[in-house]
Structure 1
Amino acid sequence: MKPVNIMINGLPGNVASTIAVHAIKDERVNLLPHSLTGPEIDAESCAIGEMVVELIRPAERGGHIRALAEKYETFISVDFTHPSAVNDNAAFYCEQGLPFVMGTTGGDREKLNQTVARSSVCAVIAPNMAKQIVGFQAMMEYAATTFPGIFRGYTLAVRESHQAGKADTSGTAKAVVAAFQRMGIDFSQKDIVMERDPAVQRDKWGIPEKYLSGHGWHTYRLTSADGTVAFEFQHNVNGRDIYAEGTFDAACFLNEKIGVGKTGRVYTMIDVLQSL
């Protein structure tokens, strides 16, 4: 199988950099030496292993992308940028006819989906690219669909901890909360407890020092009305390596959809998992 060309946008950010390092080693994909970056980035390039990647700021991206489209013909844009850039980036990808994997959380998700639906491209949009966590979300979705109201009368407490640089509440936590709501829980997403203080994460949560700059710890605790029954679901991720494999699965999945002429379609990571 010919490797899928991918351009990882968001370099030199931490998540994008981790995914890029894995891309160089994964035979399924071919990492292009170009990346869309934020207007605040001063550097002209960054190093990923022995590869020098050109950094392209928003004001310059139109001309660069047209040139890259001529040079590489087909490539998948993989977005690990910033929540504030989600909708603008998606609009740009659609305007340029670039299929994309949106791994960045935040932004207006309804608008994001509508942008793709009205375009000529297709995209994989997911709040989490880790396959095992996506599988957990799928189980929650199954329970919500099959047993609606099963936890009616219970209370829910949700806490999530991520590195200080993560600006928004976890998209995964929001998705799991939505499933619990359908299971009868009266809970608002604004009540998710979000921790970003490294000292609290280390001293009170017990998160290892080496992972304070990159982790995702989530706990969902359900308690019966009389306090006699409790359920707790937890998933703790240290580092960012877990997100790479799912990202490349998504890129390969999307490449196949392009090959059969699919357009204007939003896919999820569950769609990707079901295709494996």
Structure 2
Amino acid sequence: MKIALVGYGKMGHMIEQCAKRAGHEVVATIDVYAQDASVKVSENDSGAVARSVKSSGAEGVIEFTHPSSVIENIKAILPLQLPLVVGTTGWNDRYKEIAEYAKSVGGTVMTAGNFSIGVNMFYKIVEEAARIMHDYKDYDVATWEMHHNQKADSPSGTALEIARRIQLSYSEKSEIVTDSFHQRPSQNQLHVSSTRCGNVPGTHKVFFDGTADTIELTHTARSREGFAVGAVESLVKLSSSLKTGKLSKGNLYGWDDLFN
């Protein structure tokens, strides 16, 4: 498959390595700052991004850039009607807007808070644990995550997805709180706390805390490679599913749509 990479930072380089190792061709690496990108574009010039993707002959696109530029990149690329995988997080509040735009131009996006296969299995484990623990009212629940100090958003998309999975069983946890508490939390508040430090690829914990003990679930990423492999596999799967008619153009899809 011919792939264009929009964003050629650390993740972009890792995705390129994984794509080539899997037998794919990276036909363009597009970035604002990376000196070794095959295409340099000006900041906020999403039109140049789209033109570069189109001229590269790419059959699919993977976008890993920055929350400040992801929306305009998506809007510029979608009219090309190429399968698009977006790994940039921090735009959940614009999801409906992008869904409507994708439908209007016939473009297709697959996005996830985290593309790691292990993390997506962790989601399922958290769901099952929450289902089991919900009936034991002595136990409260919270989640915490830690990432490297170059990460631009907080909390991570992964942390918010974990919280959403908890809420499937804990309907009374109607409010997700990501800020510090300056008063006693209410029973309906689910705390999602974040730390940014050093070079940590990503650690996520879920706590079920009771009077007598604590149950702790942890996923720890060793490197970014798991994210990169999952992003490449997602693009291949998205492209194949569109060709076979399993999925339709003009929609936003998530991990469960492709891999369940």
Please indicate, yes or no, whether the TM-score normalized by the shorter chain is above 0.5: yes
- SS at 2:71's partner residue? helix
CA distance in 1, matches of 2:168, 2:53: 45
**Residue 26 in 1 paired to residue 22 in 2?**
yes
2:39 to 54, 57, 60: 54
Distance apart, 1:129 and its partner CA: 0.6
- Normalized against structure 2, the TM-score is what? 0.80
Gaps of 5+ in 2: 179-190
Q: Which aligned pairs between 1:240-255 and structure 2 lie closer than 5 A?
A: 240-255=224-239
CA distance in 2, matches of 1:221, 1:263: 39
Say if 1:24 and 1:148 are closer, same or farther in 2 by CA, change over 3 A: same
Distance apart, 1:160 and its partner CA: 0.9
Equivalent residue, structure 1, for 2:185:
none
Distance apart, 1:231 and its partner CA: 1.7
**Residue 9 in 1 paired to residue 6 in 2?**
yes
CA distance in 2, matches of 1:241, 1:176: 21
Gaps of 5+ in 1: 47-51, 199-211
Letter in 1 for 2:249: T
**Residue 188 in 1 paired to residue 179 in 2?**
no
Q: Residue 103 of structure 1 contacts residue 125 of structure 1 at CA under 8 Å; is this kept in 2?
A: yes
Say if 1:151 and 1:78 are closer, same or farther in 2 by CA, change over 3 A: farther
Say if 1:55 and 1:258 are closer, same or farther in 2 by CA, change over 3 A: farther
Q: How many residues align?
A: 241
RMSD: 2.7
Equivalent residue, structure 2, for 1:237:
221
Deviations 1:69-127 (A, max 9, x none): 3552x521101111222222221122333321011111133433343344301121111
CA distance in 1, matches of 2:98, 2:47: 20
CA distance in 1, matches of 2:63, 2:128: 28
The percentage of counterpart residues that share the same residue type is: 22
Letter in 2 for 1:155: D
Equivalent residue, structure 1, for 2:164:
178
Q: Residue 156 of structure 1 contacts residue 221 of structure 1 at CA under 8 Å; is this kept in 2?
A: yes
Say if 1:197 and 1:133 are closer, same or farther in 2 by CA, change over 3 A: closer
Q: Which aligned pairs between 1:32-71 and structure 2 lie closer than 5 A?
A: 32-35=27-30, 37-38=31-32, 41=33, 45-46=35-36, 53-58=38-43, 61-62=46-47, 65-66=50-51, 68-69=53-54
Q: Residue 135 of structure 1 contacts residue 270 of structure 1 at CA under 8 Å; is this kept in 2?
A: no
Structure 1 stretches (4+) deviating beyond 4 angstroms? 58-61, 141-144, 146-149
Q: Residue 94 of structure 1 contacts residue 120 of structure 1 at CA under 8 Å; is this kept in 2?
A: yes
Q: Residue 81 of structure 2 contacts residue 108 of structure 2 at CA under 8 Å; is this kept in 1?
A: no
1:167 to 144, 152, 174: 152
Distance apart, 1:128 and its partner CA: 0.4
Q: Which aligned pairs between 1:12-161 and structure 2 lie closer than 5 A?
A: 13-27=9-23, 29-35=24-30, 37-38=31-32, 41=33, 45-46=35-36, 53-58=38-43, 61-62=46-47, 65-66=50-51, 68-69=53-54, 72=57, 74-107=58-91, 108=93, 109-141=95-127, 149-150=134-135, 152=137, 154-161=139-146
Letter in 1 for 2:19: A
